[in-house]
Amino acid sequence: MPDYRRVTVVFRSRQGGESGEWAEERLTGQWFRMATGWVLRCPDAMTVSILKGDVRVVRQGEIGVEQTFRLGAATPGAVRLPQGPMAVEAFTHELAAALTDAGGTLFWRYDMRSEDQEMGRFEIGLDIREE
């Protein structure tokens, strides 16, 4: 991989739209500039790729996620639960990025469903800053 910068990341998420409460997590990671976008790698937590307008999240942990987000589109993904994997689909309503070599901000809002069952509306925000 190309050279990277060490960054601090504030990862914010909420479920349920404006009535939901924000959860916040602080992480450290590596920020890579690629030919067609950016990659944020937070060891033991997640990797976020912002390439050609898509955002792809791979999150590790007890509940893992592999999902691509594309503005105005429904995209397939998977959630890994202790009981086993579950196929999901995310429809992205909003996606905004202001990114530079030193970091920046990334926000997206989406609805998630599994087998025609609505799982809810989610919002994710990342504030990425060079250390």
- What mean pLDDT comes out for the span 108-130? 96
> Which pTM was predicted?
0.91
pLDDT (0 to 100) of residue 43: 87
- The answer to whether position 26 is within a domain reads no
Q: How many domains does the chain have?
A: 1
Cβ within 8 Å of residue 39, ≥6 positions away: 1, 31, 32, 47, 48, 49, 50, 51
Contact of 77 with 88, CB cutoff 8 Å = yes
Query: Rounded distance, CA 40 to CA 1, Å?
Result: 12
**76 is in which domain, residue-wise?**
31-104
Residue reference for tokens 């609505």: 118
- The answer to whether position 74 is within a domain reads yes
- The answer to whether position 78 is within a domain reads yes
- What mean pLDDT comes out for the span 6-16? 95
pLDDT (0 to 100) of residue 93: 98
Cβ within 8 Å of residue 105, ≥6 positions away: 96, 97, 98, 99, 125, 126, 127, 128
- The answer to whether position 65 is within a domain reads yes
